[in-house]
Amino acid sequence: MSQKLKNKVAVITGGNSGIGLGAAKLFAQEGAKVVITGRDAETINSAVTEIGNGAMGYVSDVSDMSSFVLLFKEIHATLGKIDVLIVNAGIMLTAPIAEMTEEIFDKVTNINYKGAFFTIKHAVPYLNEGASIVITTSTVSDKAFVEGSAYVASKAAKRALVRVLAAELAPQKIRVNALAPGFIDTPLLTKSGFTQAYKIRWVTFLQVR
């Protein structure tokens, strides 16, 4: 690796599995000081070992607004200001609109959108000038994903947030971008209750749209 990120501080929410873990490994290989967050201590510890290169992990629930203040204070005290913030933590729950409950809607929104919003709000004071924020959205925000009304809306909201924050944080030379992956079979889908047959049906549906 080129070590082009040597000594840069990179914080990745939801970095204990899937896309976040893959990003954390790559950043560490490029020399960054990597910090991952997640809700489960066991998977965080396992991921930190897998990432290696001095990676650190914190238990933090993005749906708990009070957790952010302490999180970023601790990271700053340990590593200094942040150069890269990857806002990746998310959840995928789906249901037909007729069966959508307020509980499901709130859980999806609180983690995928509200959690992302307040992650950034509380991180900004600890970002270096010229830092980069990357928000994981999804290609589904531009597609009619049946039974995905709350999930798709949460991803579309994040894309709108990217546009606003890119303009708002430009005076601080902080870049804000969206990363919109397509279908990636990560542990998140299994945790969300998706069977292999459903995954295949979902992929086929998205490909024809």
Pair of tokens at residue 11: 């914080």
Catalytic residue among 58, 113, 126, 151: 151
CA atoms within 13 A on the CB side of 2: 2
The three state secondary structure string of the chain is: CCCCCCCCEEEEECCCCHHHHHHHHHHHHCCCEEEEEECCHHHHHHHHHHHCCCCEEEECCCCCCHHHHHHHHHHHHHHCCEEEEEECCCCCCCCCHHHCCHHHHHHHHHHHHHHHHHHHHHHHHHEEEEEEEEEECCHHHHCCCCCCHHHHHHHHHHHHHHHHHHHHCHHHCCEEEEECCCCCCCHHHHHCCCCHHHHHHHHHHHHCC
Contacts of 190 (CB under 8 A, 6+ apart): none
Residue recorded with tokens 């965080």: 44
Question: Is 151 an active-site residue?
Answer: yes
| Residues acting as catalytic residues | 151
